[in-house]
A = this chain, B = another copy of it.
């Protein structure tokens, strides 16, 4: 049992499509060695890397941010549980902020929309830190703040 995974095996185990895995490689989020014939072989901890990527997406990170995060992992040894924990704990502020926003929305929905207060630019509900968010095109991720 060589513990190298083919792209199909990694896909099956991670639940992530092979096309996505190739895409992640192109974006520098994961890496593979190649067989003599040119096929990808993944080391076992790539599975954990892929898991990290998917969870990070749920937290609202974009792939380029995730790439940067992953780059802070040790290069020449398999990352430990502690490494992963350090990485993911950096999300806490982000998660906390997002949870707070959603709770604010939930608890003040009725009042704020119906009333005349909404000039949005200055609405405390949406811009608690007075950032009128104009951040270019593309889909809006709710966690982007």
Contact = CB atoms under 8 A, between A and B. Distances in A.
Interface of A: 13-17, 47-48, 50-52, 54-55, 57-60, 80-85, 87-89, 91-92, 95-96, 98-99, 101-103, 105-106, 109-110, 112-115, 118-121, 123, 125-126, 132, 134, 138-143
A106 B89 CA distance: 8
Q: Interface majority SS on A: helix, strand, loop or mixed?
A: helix
Contacts of A80: 114
Contacts of A55: 105, 109, 112-113, 125-126
Contacts of A119: 13-15, 47
Nearest to A132: B15
Copies in the complex: 2
A37 B89 CA distance: 58
B113 A88 contact: yes
Given A14-B119, A14-B121, A142-B60, A85 B102 contact: no
